[in-house]
Amino acid sequence: MAAVPPLDIAEEIRSLQLDSAEVNGMNNPADAEEVEEVDKMEEDSNDSITMSTQEMLAETSKVKDKEVPVQEEVGASAEMEEDNKKRHLNVVFIGHVDAGKSTTGGQILFLSGQVDDRTIQKYEKEAKDKSRESWYMAYIMDTNEEERVKGKTVEVGRAHFETETSRFTILDAPGHKSYVPNMISGASQADIGVLVISARKGEFETGYERGGQTREHVQLAKTLGVSKLLVVVNKMDDPTVNWSKERYDEIESKMIPFLKLSGYNVKKDVQFLPISGLLGTNMKTRMDKAICPWWNGPCLFEALDAIEVPPRDPKGPFRMPIIDKFKDMGTVVMGKVESGSVTEGDSLLVMPNKTQVKVLAVYCDENKVRYAGPGENVRIRLSGIDDEDILSGFVLSSIARPIAAVTEFDAQLQILELLDNAIFTAGYKAVLHIHSVVEECEIVQLLQQIDPKTRKPMKKKVLFVKNGAIVVCRVQVNNLICVEKFSDFTQLGRFTLRTEGKTVAVGKVMELPLGSNF
């Protein structure tokens, strides 16, 4: 194909844009302004994705002698536009080991057409060969992991699916006790939590009792900003349960007080529903009354679609905590955009080492896009920095308003459960988890204790506190870390403290030292 004269390209784009507008249900192709207006209302991001004529001409002049596959480019951007009209949500599956998280995640992917029958048969055979017949659905989530990042395993399995109104990314967090830090990194990117509970006799009890992961995961999910929770009571088809209403009600009545204690508003933010992850019952479609006559509520897909999450600000200062990095024709970083938006060609800062970088390409799911807004999981290719100079926990941030980098901050802590006979006082050491940062920290000073009833500071000077106390204290770390005040950025201002594999406290950043920005 010969190089196309610029004017023809402009014409071609114009007609293609109008075509895509027609596809979107506009019947008046002549009125391009109106089309743009509607697009603008639908989603701010669309106009950045649809290539403007000037951009396209600039592209052409840049690549004068190369072929310019205009049609493909514009076609792809129109497709991306379609996708971007759907809201995007991250769903983390949490719960005790063996509650059926991966199986439920696998079943969702199968039901939404992300996995074909042949693949399922392959997994079924594999599972049978290992005498683990009921595990075949879990294999969908567990193999996706490796493929996702070019043969690099991320402990939190990732996969994508869509419903009529939303695009979802599933984060399948590990349920085993020794993997709680990985579960934290999964939940810190999530908008919605799906807490999977096994209804099988004995399994719910094990997960719920002290030391069981159900309790710890719920507390962590709340701290990490998972504001909406779907509690799915799984394995209802098990012979010990057999869709029993009594068993379902018993689990609900035990969970509600605990969810309230963890800070969830059960009426507004929590929804319970029964499913069978292995059989896919009550997941994509409502279940048959013959199976379960007493359930009149929604199925899992309906419940996910109906959840409303608070909007994020696409025009805010850019913030993306980095959860992983690798080399691929440059340095590629992964993470979730917490605020602001990113476009190809942007200049950004990697904090806390203040390195200025340029965005070469943005990938959303597996597709190359020109723009990504808040809430999206992205991979960004950068120039100007080596992957060895980036650590997990660094933050990609706007140059005009960079994120604060500090070694100490004041925080309000809620003490959950200290290790046997421990008291919480100045000098207490723990591991701090805040967004994707994991750092050892020390409490250097207790500033004041808060009365749990009135939520006001107590008068008396505080030297130490015990379980259940709320205290304001100064936290110190050895290396510079990127944090924000909780009041400015909730996602980057809440944290957990862990000691010897147990979560001992949850907290939020109240004050940063002066001059911490630059």
Clarify whether residues 346 and 283 are in a common domain: no
How close are the terminal C-alpha atoms of the chain, in Å? 51
pLDDT at residue number 59: 41
Please identify, among 306, 341, 371, the residue that sits at the C-terminal boundary of a domain: 306
* Any domain includes 348: yes
* Helix (H/G/I), strand (E/B), else coil: 366: coil
Q: What share of the chain is helix, strand, coil (3-state, %, to 5)?
A: 30, 30, 40
396 versus 423: the higher-pLDDT residue is: 396
294: β partners: none
What total number of domains does the chain contain? 3
Specify burial of residue 299 (Cβ count, 10 A radius: 0-12, 13-18, 19+).
middle
Clarify whether residues 356 and 420 are in a common domain: no
Q: How confident is the model at residue 62 (pLDDT cuts 50, 70, 90)?
A: very low
Please identify, among 265, 283, 306, the residue that sits at the C-terminal boundary of a domain: 306
* pLDDT single digits (tens) 324-336: 888 888 899 988 8
User: What integer is the mean pLDDT of 171-179?
Assistant: 50
Clarify whether residues 410 and 393 are in a common domain: no
Clarify whether residues 499 and 376 are in a common domain: no
> 422 is written with which tokens?
């421990």
Clarify whether residues 225 and 121 are in a common domain: yes
* CATH code for position 436: 2.40.30.10
* Any domain includes 20: no
Length of the chain: 518
Residue 40: how many other CB atoms lie within 10 Å: 11
Whether residue 37 has pLDDT greater than 50: no
Clarify whether residues 196 and 295 are in a common domain: yes
Structural domain including 161 reads 87-306
Clarify whether residues 366 and 419 are in a common domain: no
Query: What pTM did the predictor assign?
Result: 0.64
Place of tokens 């009571």: 233
Choose the weakest-confidence range: 30-44, 266-280, 281-295.
30-44
Contacts of residue 421, defined as CB under 8 A and 6 or more positions apart, other chains included, come to none
Q: How confident is the model at residue 406 (pLDDT cuts 50, 70, 90)?
A: very high
Clarify whether residues 300 and 374 are in a common domain: no
Clarify whether residues 368 and 252 are in a common domain: no
Q: How confident is the model at residue 84 (pLDDT cuts 50, 70, 90)?
A: low
Whether the Cβ atoms of residue 393 and residue 185 lie closer than 8 Å to each other: no
* CATH code for position 145: 3.40.50.300
Q: How confident is the model at residue 127 (pLDDT cuts 50, 70, 90)?
A: low
252 versus 518: the higher-pLDDT residue is: 252
Q: What is the dihedral angle through the alpha carbons of 385, 388, 394, 400, rounded to the nearest 10 degrees? A: -10
Clarify whether residues 437 and 362 are in a common domain: no
pLDDT at residue number 453: 75
Most confident of 29-43, 230-244, 412-426: 230-244
Phi/psi region, residue 46 (left: phi>0; alpha: psi -120 to 50; beta: rest), is alpha
* Any domain includes 331: yes
User: What integer is the mean pLDDT of 186-207?
Assistant: 80
* Any domain includes 5: no
Clarify whether residues 429 and 286 are in a common domain: no
* Any domain includes 41: no
* Any domain includes 179: yes
Clarify whether residues 433 and 390 are in a common domain: no
Please identify, among 359, 383, 398, the residue that sits at the C-terminal boundary of a domain: 398
* Any domain includes 22: no
Among 42, 81, 25, 86, smallest CA distance to 305 is for 86
* Any domain includes 66: no
* pLDDT single digits (tens) 366-392: 788 888 888 888 899 999 998 888 988
